[in-house]
Structure 1
Amino acid sequence: MTTTTFDSPLGLVRVTGDDAGVTAIACMDITADEPAPVYLPEPVEQAVLQLTEYFAGTRQTFDFLINPVGTTFQQTVWKALLDVPFGTTRSYLALTRRIGDEKAIRAVAAANGKNPLWIVVPCHRIIGSDGSLTGYAGGLWRKQWLLEHERGGTGQLSLF
């Protein structure tokens, strides 16, 4: 596995992966203290490029190879997250309905919180049924920033 970092408006972004795909993307409140790797596998290099474009406002979708590690249920939830369009939000309840098990709302919320691919698998687009910004591993201020960034800084977010 290769790990690299780059600066973003939300802090230092760490991207980890290999030729089989990117396994983790996270934002951190620290500065880089390691030299950049000499070689970046293609998926990692593409992730850095595409995330940089996302932050610049020139990219809305990602097409690099991903390879998140998780349980079958987590993988199901993460796949459903990929269907939430840029600039929109869904409730946790809507997400549970999407995967076909409305009673699994707590498990869906837990899987959402374990998403290893920040931004790319858009867990930040999942909000409370009342429109509230519920938990976010990167901090609610980052979730708010991402949602505002995706709506272009104007207008209301769409719940559906």
Structure 2
Amino acid sequence: MPVYAAKMRAPFAVLGIRTGQGAVTGIEYLPGSERAQAPTDALAARACRQIERYLADPQFRFSLPLAPAGTVFRRRVWDTLSQIPIGESRTYGELARRLHTAPRAIGGACGANPIALVIPCHRVVGTQGSLGGFMGVTQGNPIAIKRWLLAHEGYRFGA
């Protein structure tokens, strides 16, 4: 059973927050049936406050120490995702060209993103307006979460 430093409710899921060695190491989307859990450390409390601010104001920019576990390539992709402005998106192909790789590799890195709310993989979409995948799947509740996050940030679908 995973151990979380906090669990908080959001409009689209319960968020399980992991911390370690002074950094946020994970934010996971949990079923809505999960119970909220008060933060067990100061960093988890700070993460909860910042998530609440983001939920109230999509223009809020996170300023948390992050330590996502991943390969050098995945960390490069995640760093690039963090540069996508709020309310905008990039396609898997655009990111692939920028990083000199294949769109599927970008999708794989997005699917492996352990801090998916703060490292905004939801801003990566398919070509011709398709949402693509989210959290490694292409249908179901994860796509509803992606749609919610994009709409919250002012993304114009079909634009």
Question: Which band: TM-score by shorter chain?
Answer: 0.7 to 0.9
CA positional deviation for 1:65? 0.6
Contact persistence 2:122–2:150 (CA under 8 A): yes
Instruction: Specify every segment of 5 or more residues in structure 1 that has no aligned partner in the other structure, as ranges.
Output: none
* Change in CA separation of 1:89 and 1:107 when aligned onto 2, cut-off 3 Å: same
1:97 alignment counterpart: 97
Structure 2 length-normalised TM: 0.85
Name which of 110, 113, 116 aligns with 1:112: 110
Q: How does 1:20-99 map to 2 (within 5 A)?
A: 20-33=22-35, 36=38, 39-42=40-43, 44-57=44-57, 59-99=59-99
Instruction: Specify every segment of 5 or more residues in structure 2 that has no aligned partner in the other structure, as ranges.
Output: 136-140
2:18 alignment counterpart: 16
* Change in CA separation of 1:86 and 1:157 when aligned onto 2, cut-off 3 Å: farther
Structure 1 length-normalised TM: 0.85
* Change in CA separation of 1:9 and 1:76 when aligned onto 2, cut-off 3 Å: same
RMSD value over aligned CA atoms? 2.2
CA positional deviation for 1:59? 4.6
2:145 alignment counterpart: 142
Aligned residues: 152
% identical equivalent positions: 32
Query: For the residues of structure 1 that align with 2:37 and 2:9, how far apart are their CA atoms?
Result: 14
Give the residue type in structure 2 aligned to 1:126. V
Greater shift in the superposed pair: 81-90 or 133-142: 133-142
Contact persistence 1:18–1:41 (CA under 8 A): no
